């Protein structure tokens, strides 16, 4: 039923207008319910509920910021505005590097992973070179796809990221295949296939750009998980970003020079 509704949304021109995310609204309602229940809990259960509430707020913040970024990129990636996906991606990564660097200067204690990799430059370079390459390809191809396809269609395609990431995790030995997981994967495949069919403005080139972006993004996620969970390298998310941003920016600048 959800997949059929999604297909109808794709057929409507109103899908391109900005509207509140149903997922965000649902999360807000759920968090409000959890907040009310937390007041009547014992101290231990109350602390656990507060932690869950904090995680929920972080998730909602991520959804809101991600939605704004997607809409803004779609707005810029127009023939009459700034249809240069490689340059746009490089600017994004430059800003990320500057902000992360300023935060590191103001609060070095928030980057404990920096001290953990002292004397391990060869290991760090070996890991972050493929991560930077896949991240750069993912960002470039994702922005390039906005020139050809609608935001709604591309977002429905991203539902397949769960399957791609799970498959790559199986190959990397990070996940184990079970019957329940296999059933969930098949269910997601069926729903995603129904959702992305029937687009009024389907363009094969945009489809392939988005597919390339998804495979690169999922490969980056699997490599990142391997780095963050490695016994030889202890990274926190901020330190990970501080290392990835300059490496990814170098890859993007190299591609920008070749295509200038």
pLDDT of residue 231: 56
What value does the mean pLDDT of the chain take? 76
- pTM above 0.85? no
Using CA atoms, how far apart are residues 226 and 222, in angstroms rounded to an integer?
Answer: 6
More confidently predicted of 205 and 189: 205
For the ranges 82-91, 119-128, 160-169, 242-251, the lowest mean pLDDT is seen at 119-128
What pLDDT band is residue 45 in, cutting at 50, 70 and 90? Answer: low
pLDDT at 19: 44
pLDDT of residue 206: 85
Q: What is the pLDDT of residue 236?
A: 78
Q: How far separated are the first and last CA of the chain, in Å rounded?
A: 47
Place of tokens 């390459």: 133
As a whole number of angstroms, the distance between CA 81 and CA 75 comes to 8
Return the pLDDT at 17.
44
pLDDT above 60: residue 24: no
Indicate whether 23 pLDDT > 60.
no
pLDDT at 125 over 60: yes
* CB hemisphere CA count around 229 (13 angstroms): 9
Query: Which pLDDT belongs to residue 191?
Result: 74
Q: Which of 8-17, 23-32, 108-117, 179-188 has the lowest mean pLDDT?
A: 8-17
């Amino acid at each position: 039923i959800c997949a059929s509704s999604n297909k109808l949304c794709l057929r409507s021109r109103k899908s391109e207008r900005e509207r509140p995310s149903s997922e965000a609204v649902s999360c807000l309602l759920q968090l409000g319910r959890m907040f009310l229940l937390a007041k009547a809990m014992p101290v231990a259960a109350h602390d656990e509920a507060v932690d869950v509430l904090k995680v929920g707020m972080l998730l909602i913040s991520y959804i809101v910021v991600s939605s704004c970024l997607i809409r803004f990129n779609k707005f810029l990636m127009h023939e009459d505005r700034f249809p240069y996906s490689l340059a746009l991606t490089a600017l994004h990564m430059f800003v990320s590097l500057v902000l992360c660097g300023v935060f590191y200067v103001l609060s070095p204690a928030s980057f404990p992973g920096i001290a953990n990799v002292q004397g391990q430059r060869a290991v760090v370079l070996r890991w972050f070179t493929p991560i930077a390459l896949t991240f750069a390809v993912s960002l470039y191809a994702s922005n390039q796809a906005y020139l050809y396809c609608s935001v709604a269609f591309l977002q429905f395609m991203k539902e397949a990221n769960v399957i791609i990431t799970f498959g790559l995790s199986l190959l990397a030995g990070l996940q184990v295949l079970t019957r329940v997981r296999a059933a969930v994967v098949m269910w997601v495949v069926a729903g995603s296939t129904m959702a992305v069919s029937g687009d009024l403005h389907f363009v094969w080139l945009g489809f392939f750009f988005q597919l390339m972006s998804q495979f690169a993004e999922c490969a980056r996620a699997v490599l990142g998980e391997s780095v963050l969970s490695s016994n030889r390298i202890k990274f926190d998310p901020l330190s990970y970003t501080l290392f990835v941003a300059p490496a990814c920016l170098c890859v993007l600048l190299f591609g920008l020079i070749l295509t200038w």
